[in-house]
Each structure stands twice: as structure tokens, then as C-alpha cells.
Amino acid sequence: MTANIIDGAAIAAELRGEVAETVRRLGENHGIKPGLAVVLVGNDPASEVYVRTKAKQTVAAGMASFEHRLPADTSEKELLALVRQLNADPRVDGILVQLPLPPQINAGKVIEAIDPAKDVDGFHPENVGRLAVGSGGIVPCTPLGCLLLLRHVRADLTGLDAVVVGRSAIVGKPMAHLLLDENCTVTTAHSRTRDLPALCRRADILVAAVGRPEMIRGDWIKPGAIVIDVGINRLPPASGDASGKGRLVGDVAFDEAREVAGAITPVPGGVGPMTIACLLSNTVEAAKRRLAGPGPKG
């Protein structure tokens, strides 16, 4: 058996197309243009690439993009002042502060300062809490993207055994909540889990969000399982690699896993493109909610 490859790039392009269509209608019917503000502190090269890609895709979807680049020695006070300014700016529907932040800034404090209605990353404690109680907050982009990929493979996930490897606040934990809401039976694994291979072998849905290159082997996978690989790891360049950059691999040993799984995401071209598409989607949803005005609390 060879797994179906889940084409994240194509599914993300489809989602970006739907977002662009919603943006067009919002402009035509209500005269509004959703806006996303991205804040980058310092010049971490990976963050620079993410921010550039986000800005490009925001504009391509017909939305306004506001980029704020601050020097690496920016104080927490200065960053908090910018966040308050963006909270009050009516042109801004979504605010994203690119992580990691330099050590003099407390990231938790900055996230808590973002208006939860504009927190398109879904990291504010109010949105985290809403996801936990299932009451419609903004959902973090990467796990939301994973869920959309899963739904693409199988519309109804009810009753399936799901194992999420990784318990970070940005991927593993929200992913587990989303799968529970889909009526899966969910186990969250982490570095202290006993006999991880045996646990993974029980999973109809296996989500890997570990950050360890190709840790999950083919013989850890249940035949026919759906495998979502969130990991993005760059291997050291092989000898003779002219680019000198090294290969990008996931947390799953793809060549082995595809022989066993029913469907699997590749790296790159799986979860990665979905993350940014979901960011655009969260921003347009925030704009729609703002247009509808404050609803009943709760």
C-alpha cells in the first residue's frame, strides 16, 4: 500500500482563493478592506522569511498589510505601546507579533496585551480558554490547518483514535482540543510518554509536532492511518550538496511512512502552506465579526 499524499500546497491555494473572494465581497458590499499587522522585532533570518511571505500573501488576497519592523534592542514598553496603538487602529483586524521575541521582552505579556478579537494567532489566554471550552474563539493557525487537511481526507472523524505527539501551546495542545471537538478519542504524547511507538501504532490519526527530524518511523504507524507531519527540520548539508543549505524534513520518516499510512502530508508542501492560509482566513473572519458588531457575551 502506498499512501495518498495530502497536497497541502493545493489545499492552501484553494483556501486563499476563498479568502480573496470573501475580501472582494466585503469591499463590494460594505466598503471595507481587512487589514493584518505583523510585528517583527530584531532580524532573525527565519522570522524575516515568514514575515515577508505573510505580507505577500496578505496583499495577494486583497487585504491591507501593515509591517512593523523594530530593532532587536526594542524595550518591552515600546512593543506594548505599539500593540496598544494597533488595538486602537480601525484599519487593523488582525495583529501578529512574530515569535520568538528577544530576551528582554516577556512574550506572554505582549500576547496578553493584544485585543483578543484581533489575536489572529489565537495565542491570547481568552482564545486559548474559548478553544478549551468550545465557545468559538480564534483558533491557532497551524492546528487549524492540520484539521482542514484531515477533513479533506475524511469528512467525519467521529470515533477515530487520534494521537498527537507534542504538547506545545501553539501546536500540540490546541490540536488535541480540535480533535476532541471532532469526536476523536485523543491521546497527547510528549517526551515523558512511555513506549511511544506502541502508542502511535494505535492511532487512526497521527499528528507529529515534535521538532525531531524523522523520529517517527514507518513501523510506528498503523496501516491505513492518516499522518499529519507538522515538523520542519533542516538537516545538515550532505557532502557534495552544492546549495549548502541541507534538506528540509519532517518529524516523520516520510519514505517509510508512506508505505504504511493511508494518507500523509509531505514536508515541505503539507502543513506549512496551510498555516499562512489559515492566518489570512482568521484575519478575514475577525473583520467579519467586527462588521457584525459585538454579539452577546459568552
Helices 8-30, 45-60: axis angle to 10 degrees equals 50
Per CB under 6 A, 142 contacts ligand NDP: yes
Tell me if residue 56 is catalytic.
no
Beta bridge partners of 185: 161
Of 58 and 74, which CB lies nearer to ligand NDP in the complex structure?
Answer: 58
CB 55 within 8 A of CB 65: yes
The pair phi, psi for residue 162, each rounded to 5°, is: -115, 135
In the region spanning residues 185 to 204, those forming contacts with ligand NDP, defined by CB under 6 A, are 189-193, 196
Q: Catalytic: which of 93, 98, 119, 251?
A: 98
Per CB under 6 A, 266 contacts ligand NDP: no
Helix (H) or strand (E) holding 287: helix 271-292
Candidates 162, 251, 179; CA nearest to 210 is: 251
Size of the site for ligand NDP (CB under 6 A): 25
Q: Of how many residues is the chain composed? A: 298
Per CB under 6 A, 247 contacts ligand NDP: no
Per CB under 6 A, 209 contacts ligand NDP: yes
Helices 141-153, 8-30: axis angle to 10 degrees equals 110
Tell me if residue 222 is catalytic.
no
Name the grid cell of 194.
512511555
Residue nearest to ligand NDP according to CB distances in the complex: 168
The pair phi, psi for residue 92, each rounded to 5°, is: -105, 120
Tell me if residue 109 is catalytic.
no
- Report the residue from 15, 139, 178, 271 that binds ligand NDP according to the rule CB under 6 A: 271
Sketch the per residue contact string, 145 through 184, with ligand NDP: x for CB under 6 A, - otherwise: --------------------xxxx-xxx------------
Per CB under 6 A, 143 contacts ligand NDP: no
Cα 120 versus chain centre, distance: 10
The residues that touch ligand NDP, with contacts defined as CB under 6 A, are 142, 165-168, 170-172, 189-193, 196, 209-212, 230-233, 271-272, 275
Active site residues: 54, 98, 121
